[in-house]
Each structure stands twice: as structure tokens, then as C-alpha cells.
Amino acid sequence: MHIAQIISIVDDDEAVCIATSALVRSLGWQANIFASAEAFLRSGQIADTACLISDVRMPNMSGIEMHDRLRQLGYALPTIFVTAFPTATLRATVIANGALALLEKPVDGVALEHYLSVALGQP
């Protein structure tokens, strides 16, 4: 069990949030889900978040815009982006902006576990 390491999941697709949070919990971490970037930014949960998993494309504020906003606020959360539309340019952009990875939906559980372990310093 990975005590007190909360993974925050931000995705406007409820089914994706539920599936991702179930996977994260099955790996032994706690998960909080948010339906939008704005909901996460307003949640008061930023400081408690050990790793962020965020969709790239969401209404109003994209995951990338949220990540930029978090950095402006002084938070350097390990971030794993997920998208149904991965491109080499998008991958290069998110990595250059400090994200840990860009994974394609549907997310591969082994890949997600690997990047969570890297983000959280697990062996």
C-alpha cells in the first residue's frame, strides 16, 4: 500500500475517470477524480497530489493549460498526460513543458504503473 500518495485524475470523460481511478486503486494508490481542469484548480487538493494524470483535450481549459497554470502557481507535480490523439509534436511539447509522459487512450495499465512508479519514486 502506498500510504498518503494521492493520484489526482482530471478528465472530462467520466468513464475514463472511473476506469483510471480503478486501475490506480488496484495498484495500491489513492485516487481523486475531477471532471475539469477548473475543478482540480479550485479543489484545494493540489498540495496533496503526489502525481497528476490529466487528459489533454477538455472543454474550457486543456490539460496543458492547467499544467502551465500549476507551474505558474509554483507547483511542479509529476504529470502524466493521456490523449486519444497522440502526435509526435504533442509528445515533444508536453515533455518539453515538464510532463513525465504522454500515453494514448485507452491507457495501457503496465505503462501507467511504470510512470506512476517513476513519478512516486517506487522501485
Amino acid found at 86: P
What is the model's pLDDT at position 7? 97
Cell of 43: 479543489
CA 8 – CA 18 distance, rounded (Å): 12
84 by DSSP, 3-state: which? coil
What is the model's pLDDT at position 72? 96
What is the model's pLDDT at position 43? 97
Q: Domains (ranges, CATH) in the chain? A: 6-119 (3.40.50.2300)
| Contact status, residue 6 vs residue 50, Cβ threshold 8 Å | yes
The full length of the chain comes to: 123
What is the model's pLDDT at position 67? 97
Cα separation values, 107 from 3, 7, 32, 70, Å: 24, 15, 17, 24
| Contact status, residue 32 vs residue 5, Cβ threshold 8 Å | no
CA 83 – CA 94 distance, rounded (Å): 12
What is the model's pLDDT at position 121? 86
What is the model's pLDDT at position 29? 93
* Average pLDDT for runs of 10 along the chain of length 123: 78 95 94 98 96 97 97 96 96 95 94 94 75
